[in-house]
A = this chain, B = another copy of it.
Amino acid sequence: MAHIKLLNEDLPGIVGLLNNRPETAKPLLDLAETLLRGPSSLTSGEREIIAASVSYWNQCHFCHTSHAAAAAAHLKSGLELIDEIKAGLPNTPVSEKLKVLLHIAHQVQRGGKNVTEEDIAFAREQGATDVEIHDTVLIAAAFCMYNRYVDGLNTWAPDPNEAYAEMGERMANVGYGRF
Write the residues of chain A forming the contact surface with B, with a CB cutoff of 8 angstroms: 3-5, 17, 20-21, 23-24, 26-28, 30-31, 34-35, 38-39, 58-60, 104, 107-108, 111-113, 115, 117, 120, 130-131, 133-135, 137-138, 140-142, 144-154
Contact = CB atoms under 8 A, between A and B. Distances in A.
Given A30-B26, A111-B58, A113-B59, A141 B152 contact: yes
19 contacts: A3-B117, A3-B133, A4-B133, A4-B134, A24-B35, A24-B138, A26-B30, A27-B30, A104-B152, A112-B148, A112-B150, A113-B151, A115-B153, A133-B153, A137-B152, A137-B153, A140-B148, A141-B149, A145-B145
Nearest to A29: B27
A131 B23 contact: no
Give this chain's copy count. 2
Main secondary structure of the interface of A (DSSP, over half): helix
Nearest to A130: B4
Nearest to A58: B111
A135 B112 CA distance: 23
A104 B149 CA distance: 12
Given A107-B152, A134-B20, A112 B34 contact: no
